[in-house]
Structure 1
């Protein structure tokens, strides 16, 4: 039976990549792999894995399935930054070739980026987070 890869939060996906766990899973020694992961991350008190699995059986099963069937990152939520509510010409735009910031509509022709992850918004300017609107909320209103 073919199983789909498990979708994991990006931070956990990155942590498993750092550990060296192959994305295609490890069906031959899953218990040993999980035990090794747990032991390593238990030593690191503020670890991503520790906070993910401590006291959460659902997350423990998710990790077991990821080790067995493989894993991939969950798609990250994308946002528009709408600076003036109900004004379609006040979206944050970043020009792709030089990083210049401008305000315009949210139509993307490939010359600029109008959709951002929360990390990208914070990197531009953390104050823009207050104006972030999920892409689905805007595009779903057409």
Structure 2
């Protein structure tokens, strides 16, 4: 069984607006995309236009989303890490290996905090996984 395709939130929302089911299994994805293209031309939606008129990779992304289902990519979560510890209280410089890290929605905000602290690194908490949950 194929995994659902992770789409940028804006494309996910656009497909939702067109009423495409998230579970996929469309028997004729090219026909569905053709219908999307016609709708896009009528409404001049720049979001779908970017992917339909984009390169081959973007077109395959849409086809796979229609075939296998789709979901929105996780929202960005930026954290600050120093060694094996994460910042978990943004206002008092508290770090801990066993605490849920504080998450910033913008990388720039986390970078500002690192600059003020003078140490640490900005990490993508979505890619870090749940390492910070371990109690080892």
Contact 1:6 1:69 in 2 (8 A): yes
Question: What does residue 41 of structure 1 align with?
Answer: 40
Maintained 8 Å contact 2:79/2:110: no
How far off its partner does 1:72 sit? 1.4
Q: Shift of the alpha carbon at 1:50?
A: 0.8
Is the contact made by 2:87 and 2:102 (CA closer than 8 Å) also made in structure 1?
A: no
1:4-19 counterparts in 2 under 5 A? Answer: 4-19=3-18
Aligned residues: 118
Q: Give the match for residue 93 of structure 2.
A: 104
1:117 corresponds to = 105
Shift of 1:109: 5.0
CA separation of 1:44 and 1:89: change in aligned 2, threshold 3 A: same
Q: In the TM superposition, what is the alpha-carbon distance from 1:106 to its structure 2 partner? A: 4.7
Is 1:134 equivalent to 2:133 in the alignment?
A: no
Residue 77 in structure 1 maps to residue 76 in structure 2: yes
Q: Secondary structure at the match of 1:22?
A: coil
For structure 2, the residue ranges without an aligned partner over 5 or more in a row are: 114-121
Q: What's the secondary structure of 2:30's corresponding residue?
A: helix
Q: Distance in 1 between matches of 2:3 and 2:76?
A: 21
Could you say what the CA RMSD is over the residues aligned between the two structures, in angstroms? 3.5
**TM-score, length-normalised on structure 1?**
0.61
Please name the residue that 1:25 is paired with.
24
